[in-house]
Structure 1
Amino acid sequence: MALTSTPCSESTLTDRYQTTIPEPVRKALVLNKRDKIGYSIQSDGQVVISRVDQTESDPILGKFLNFIAQDIEKNPQHLQGISSDLVSRVKSLVAEVDVDLDAPLSDEDE
């Protein structure tokens, strides 16, 4: 059984060749801000867009984490636990803060 598709949404290109991905498409692809989109050009000229899963790591963060790991390995004597006073202080500072790590950021938060 062949799948047929009909356009469900459209968007317009700006003068800079930019566009907004329509909400039904964003939802279908489970896209969030800053996600990457892949484009596949089919032999019949149709273009298929898909969400690109970002499995690549941040090279700067990777270098920093490697630096930390090497330093811990070379100088384990520099490691020290945090005091219970500091733990209590941090808990008191964030006691009334509700955070949903899965919620998208609002426009004001970016």
Structure 2
Amino acid sequence: MAILVRERSKITTKGQTTVPKAVRRALGVSYGGEIAYVVDEFGRVSLLKAEEETDPVIEGFLAFLAQDMVRNPANIAAFPADLAERMTALTDGMNVDLNEDIDGAVTL
């Protein structure tokens, strides 16, 4: 295994440390970015750029839906027109910017 970057960093009394610039650059993270620590069975620690985590339950459900749609294509139908009309009526006059940040906490 070739070593590309080797840096040292002290840990403060609060358990904090600075990720050296060369390491941040190698990971492709900057201010506000997230990193993940991975500890293997030998006690080695890897530092990775944190990726969007997926929920294994949701992933399993989505896989089930995909398989079901392949097995039962007759069950796939157009969105009911009356439901679409009702949704349109309920949201009439509302302006939604899908790129706008959400203020406050979000509970799902």
Per the normalisation by structure 2, the TM-score is 0.47
Per the normalisation by structure 1, the TM-score is 0.47
The structure showing larger relative contact order (alpha-carbon pairs under 8 Å, at least 6 residues apart) is 1
